[in-house]
Structure 1
């Protein structure tokens, strides 16, 4: 019971962070590994995905009611993200992630520095493309980051947000809303793989999913109420935490 309460509380906090800017895995994955130290890593990752996708789906629904979502661009991008995730998951069975593990903190540091130096980045919503061009650029982002999510994963939501801001001219609020849909697609692809191989504790995932949705409701409402400035600030905090976490992982491995 205490184990379930622990991971449910972690899922609640993760849902809040995920709904605002992504990065809930920083909270939930370590909580699962510390609570169930003897479980297979694949099972814990699969259980995390099976719980987190519901909070992400609910956040997408909340954003869609209040923010204009360019569905013509995002739906093809979500499909591309799912395909990329499947390709990444297959590739990780053939290639080591050691090099990417060492490089990731430096990539995240570059993203953080760029965001801090560009004071106006993502404060105003001014899309750079429309129609087929918007769909094409969004799909490339979905395919590349989807592949990364399937292959390795940490910081996927933050990469989606940053690229939608930098390459497509979205503000942080619209970028976060768009990232939710794509992240939901990559999670769904991963759940299919983990589920088919029996690497999901469904009874635990159900409890965590309820808590994750509750956290998501609060996070999305706060982001919508406070706007792009709040989402940008949360983005800086989450990317900073990711740098520390991935840097420590790289040193330990």
Structure 2
């Protein structure tokens, strides 16, 4: 497809908004991935390009938290390793799925993650001992969520944050900081395998990356604010609308005949 200036400009602003939202509450991929699909990018390439641009945003937020001493890379080293391996496996597996199946699968995954956002309880700071040891948390959460991020991705940040709060009993700020580090790890692991396969649309991905980087820096500075009250509904509505659009495009004839 031809990448016009209008498409590049629109997706730049979409990525900036998504980076801002993702740094605060996660779920930025629920905005950028549907936008890439709506722009006509094939599913596997859309996943790869989304991973390219999101890597810059997650790095930006991670850098902010590490630089300000909110999170220690050393303390997360085993979780980083498990997340990297899980994401790499997910990114490799998704490349072996037929494009037609993937096209049908993406709207369903968008709906599923939207329902997760809709029904999940609001993360609250909890005191007490962690429910899982550090090693078990790294293996189960890091590896499992990492695999999901490599395979699909949208909503990964929110899933990580909920796990850190509910299972690790971290404060929201600490949970969000740790989430960004693991999210960057899973992003870069998946991106490496997508680049080897030659899948990212580089021009588009790098333009979006600049927007995502800027948005993530702004979002990290106001992390865990009242803005989350409108972020989650926005992400849910955007994702559901895009899922409906994709399902309509795929099954238009069947739906029309069903209505008639």
TM-score normalised per structure 1: 0.78
Structure 1 counterpart of 2:56, from 50, 54, 57:
54
Local SS of the residue matching 1:123: coil
CA contact (8 A) 1:105 1:243 kept: yes
Q: Where do 5+ consecutive residues of structure 1 fail to align?
A: none
| RMSD over equivalenced CA pairs, Å | 3.2
CA contact (8 A) 1:20 1:234 kept: no
Change in 2 beyond 3 A, CA 1:77/1:215: same
Compare CA radii of gyration and give the structure with the larger one: 2
Give the equivalent residue in structure 2 for 1:170.
170
CA contact (8 A) 1:16 1:217 kept: yes
State the distance in 2 between where 1:115 and 1:229 align. Answer: 17
Give the equivalent residue in structure 2 for 1:27.
31
State the distance in 2 between where 1:212 and 1:100 align. Answer: 22
Give the equivalent residue in structure 1 for 2:254.
none
Local SS of the residue matching 2:167: helix
Give the equivalent residue in structure 2 for 1:230.
226
Cα distance per residue 1:174-215 (max 9 Å; x no partner): 211111111111111221121112111222222221111111
Q: Where do 5+ consecutive residues of structure 2 fail to align?
A: 251-260
Cα distance per residue 1:203-245 (max 9 Å; x no partner): 222222111111111111111xxxx453764674467448746
State the distance in 2 between where 1:207 and 1:101 align. Answer: 25
Give the equivalent residue in structure 2 for 1:115.
121
Instruction: Give the C-alpha shift of residue 110 in structure 1.
Output: 5.9
Change in 2 beyond 3 A, CA 1:146/1:241: farther
State the distance in 2 between where 1:242 and 1:169 align. Answer: 30
Give the equivalent residue in structure 2 for 1:9.
13
CA contact (8 A) 1:102 1:250 kept: no
Figure out how many residues of one structure are paired with residues of the other and give that number. Answer: 241
**Quick check: 1:187 aligned with 2:187?**
yes
Instruction: Give the C-alpha shift of residue 122 in structure 1.
Output: 2.4
Correspondences of 1:147-226 after superposition (within 5 Å): 147-223=147-223
